[in-house]
Amino acid sequence: MEKIKSKGYAMFSKEGPFKPYEFERHAVGDNDILIKIMYAGICHSDIHQARSEWNEKEHYPMVPGHEIVGQVTQIGRNVTKFKVGDYAGVGCMVNACKDPNCDTCHGNREQECPDAVFTYASHDKFHGGEITQGGYSNNIVISEDFAIQVPKTADMEKVAPLLCAGITTYSPIQFSRIREGDKVAVAGFGGLGHMAVQYLVKLGADVSVFDVSEEKREAAMKMGAREFVDVSKDTEFFKKHLNKFHFILSTIPAKYDMSAYLRMLEFGGEFAIVGLPATQNLPSISLHSFVFTPNRKIYGSMIGGIKETQEMLDYSVKNKIYPQVKIIKGAPDEVAKQITEAYNTIVDGKVQFRFVIDMRDL
């Protein structure tokens, strides 16, 4: 079978910058679809991985990108979920074992499968150990089971970030069973945070937002938050909110004081962590904080399974819940430069809220 030729944008070392890059993908198998990528979002995780900040094995050249939407241009002969011309999305994973005896696959939590293959910089044992390449490119080959159906009524320019930022925040909100009237907080108001606020407001929760950039206050209030707390100005911010929240979702991608957030939870309240700072910059929390702020629960959450991702996408499109995006487009050299710059803007917390790369002309 013919390998698929691809063009994309890669980092060749952890220092960067991005440059146009040509490579090959595995052939379209019987259960696979080929997607011509239209848009790819830039996630903060892309930056951590492209810069080797998570102590993972380095794979360069690396084409990041796990927020992907495009159009199906070819299907394998066993494919039933997609037709040529349909719109499809790809998120953070492209394969898992799918063995009925695998608890995580069977339980629709493929992201936890020991054999899960992530969308880029991941060892693909199902394709001879090739290293996957992500969505900052013009096409991708994926098993139909791991592709998400995107209704043609979706706003294509904005839909891609739902595949990571959307599901990453939607999933813990479901897991913690947030309901109308619950007092909740979102810590970190960036790409993930601004999705979380929209889902929580839609559910009728009473939402407070904590962030370090005063410039984001207006957007938070417009999205329906009750209050915006600029924690850069007031390190004692937690004192005004002691024991107040039923649920706090932390999307913070840098070091922060976790015990301050724990103290804002009510008895039995839940603190869900989705933001993953660089390894050298991890927040920590002492056992004392747990014991002296008793009976509060902390858990981490990692994207969501394929079934839940499809649910999230359908829910978001139906309710018109989308990220606010800034489109990167132009000639390939220009786009490569803009991606490199976008990374710095995101790390500085200055983007409102998601960069999306237009791949249609690549």
Binding site for Zn ion (CB under 5 A): 43, 45, 96-97, 102, 105, 113, 164
Report whether 208 contacts 229 (CB < 8 A).
yes
Q: Are 151 and 69 in contact (CB under 8 A)?
A: no
Residues 253, 276: contact at Cβ < 8 Å? yes
Residue found by looking up tokens 């695998």 in the block: 102
Smallest gap from Cβ 58 to Zn ion, in A, equals 19
Nearest to 232 by CA among 287, 278, 188: 188
Query: Smallest distance from the beta carbon of 142 to Zn ion, in angstroms?
Result: 16
Nearer to Zn ion, 53 or 182 (CB): 53
CB 144 within 8 A of CB 80: yes
**Identity of the residue, 41 or 269, whose beta carbon is nearer to Zn ion in the bound complex:** 41
Closest to Zn ion by CB, 105 vs 117, is: 105
Minimum CB distance to Zn ion, residue 355 (Å): 12
Please say which residue, 85 or 129, places its beta carbon nearer to Zn ion: 129
Q: Taking Cα atoms as reference points, which of 217, 213, 175, 212 lies closest to residue 197?
A: 217
The angle, 0 to 180 degrees and rounded to 10, between the axes of the packed helices 306-318 and 165-175 is: 100
Smallest distance, Zn ion to C-beta of residue 303, A: 8
- To Zn ion, the closest distance from the beta carbon of 1 in angstroms equals 25
Of residues 43 and 121, the one with the C-beta less far from Zn ion? 43
**Least CB distance from residue 293 to Zn ion, whole Å?**
30
Nearer to Zn ion, 37 or 260 (CB): 37
Q: What span, in angstroms and rounded, lies between the C-alpha atoms of 88 and 253?
A: 29
Query: In sequence order, what are the beta bridge partners of 7?
Result: 22
- Alpha carbons 87 and 217: distance in angstroms, whole number: 35
Q: State whether the Cα torsion 230-233-238-239 is positive or negative.
A: negative
Q: How far is the CB of 25 from Zn ion (least distance, A)?
A: 20
d(CA 147, CA 273): 26
Is cis: bond before 353, omega within 30 of 0? yes
Residue whose entry in the numeric block shows the structure tokens 């390998």 = 3
Is 66 or 246 the residue whose CB approaches Zn ion more closely?
66
